[in-house]
Amino acid sequence: MKNILIFNAGSSSLKFALFSLSKNPIKLLFGKCDRISHKKSQIVINNYEKVIYKKIPNFKKATQNILELLNTKNIHFDLIAHRVVHGGNIKKTSLINKKIIKIIQKNIQFAPLHNPQELEIINYCKKLKKPQYVMFDTSFYSNLPLISSTYPIPIELSKKLNLKKYGFHGISHKFVSQNLKGKTISCHLGNGASITAIKNNKPIDTSMGLTPLEGIMMATRAGDLDPGLIIFLEKKGYDVNKILNHKSGFKAFSNITDIREIIAHQKNPKIKLGLDIFIYKIIKYIGAYTAALNGLDNLVFTGGIGENIPQIRKRICDNLSFLGIKIDKTKNNKNSEIISLKNSKIKVFIKKTNEEELIAKEVYNIIWKTKYQ
């Protein structure tokens, strides 16, 4: 049986997992390289084995250290797969070749916090001379309705430059919604955050757009704002990209971006304001998507914040009580899988996302079809 190693890069961390390649993949190992480019970095395997480094400067070095660590443990794999944020118009999981590399490079302009790192990892792994596959966050949204994916700017300009809503966190949203019927809103809440409206397992709208900057407020990203503000700041000579991608969101209110610290310091008026805005934006999107779906059957919370912070889920659900949402306080505090009461009109779930497992399944399906078609 073949094994597949999967890399899942964030903006400052690199997750990895080893699966047996089958219709129902079995996770053999998982880990994370944390605090890349910080003074102290670490690699954690299976939640208990920890290796501390003085500093891992970039994703290339992080990949090298992970592979060396696996080698010392005699852990072997036959294939490699990657989660990449922006794949343009690619609809399916793909074998990496020169064409795919060019597409990842081309879309760096739309995902500057992610695509460069992911490309760095892919290029480093070439030396292993093993087949590499990629699954794009954008693939889940490749058939979004025109009504939600089209920006109301000159159509000739949109076509010429491929300007449209691509959507992100698609692998996560697909994974947590795959067994739910009817009308679903999934909330992927973490350092990056997005909300997706799904009808009969197909997305009809999502909060992120041409780039991962659109939508709700995030750790360092602004989310939705008046485009006139961008024009104004550019005229004044400010580095708008740096402000909106790196200095906004929770970062705009303090230097704290870790949600656990934000909760702990929420008596600070500035920090409280940032938290209140974050929750308010989420409530607005859920309300809007409930209208777009013409009703709601399931509400899903996932991601680091969505899975682990009861206070935020409670505040969101309490503000949506007019929809008939009722949650069980005890189950919510325990981060149970279902936190809605039996008489709640809408089922409310906490689902742990597993992008790596979905990627392993997708690669298996490609290989199986290629072998037997």
- How far is the C-alpha of 363 from the C-alpha of 354, rounded, in Å? 15
Radius of gyration of the chain (CA): 21
pLDDT at 370: 63
* Main-chain phi, psi angles of 132, to 5 degrees: -120, 135
- The pTM (predicted TM-score) of the whole model is 0.93
Sign of the torsion formed by the C-alpha atoms of 53, 56, 61 and 66 = positive
Check residue 369 and give its pLDDT: 67
Interval 213-251: pLDDT, tens: 999 999 999 999 999 999 999 999 999 999 999 999 999
Above 70 in pLDDT, residue 165? yes
Does pLDDT of 372 surpass 50? no
CATH of domain 3-142: 3.30.420.40
What percentage of the chain carries pLDDT values higher than 90?
Answer: 90
- Nearest 10 degrees: Cα torsion 280, 283, 289, 293: -160
CATH 3.30.420.40 residue window(s) in the chain: 3-142, 180-350
Element (H, E) at 100: helix 98-106
pLDDT tens column, 77-88:
999 999 999 999
pLDDT for 5: 98
- pLDDT of amino acid 368: 82
> Do residues 366 and 133 lie in contact, with contact meaning Cβ atoms separated by under 8 Å?
yes
C-alpha–C-alpha distance, residues 21 and 189, integer Å:
29
What DSSP element (H or E) covers 289? helix 269-293
What is the tens place of the pLDDT at every residue in 13-69? 899 999 999 889 999 999 999 888 888 899 999 988 999 998 899 999 999 999 999
Choose among 144, 312, 143: nearest CA to 216: 312
373, pLDDT greater than 50: no
The pLDDT value given to residue 225: 96
- Tell me what the pLDDT averaged over the chain comes to: 95
Each residue's pLDDT tens digit, 172-222: 999 999 999 999 999 999 999 999 999 999 999 999 999 999 999 999 999
Whether the per-residue pLDDT at 297 is higher than 90: the answer is yes
Catalytic residue chosen out of the listed positions 34, 137, 258, 318? 137
CATH of 180-350, one of 3.30.420.40, 3.20.20.140, 3.40.640.10, 3.40.50.920: 3.30.420.40
137 is annotated as an active-site residue: yes
Chain-centre distance for alpha carbon 282? 16
What is the mean pLDDT of the segment spanning 135-141?
97
* Token pair recorded at residue 221: 């990203």
**Helix, strand, coil percentages in the chain from 3-state DSSP, rounded to 5:** 40, 20, 40
Tokens, residue 1: 């049986």
The two three-digit tokens of residue 215, written as one number: 């939508």
The residue to which tokens 């219709």 are assigned? 23
> Which uninterrupted H or E stretch holds 84?
strand 79-84
Report how far residue 82's alpha carbon sits from residue 115's, in angstroms, rounded to the nearest whole number: 11
- Determine the average pLDDT of the residues in 280-284: 98
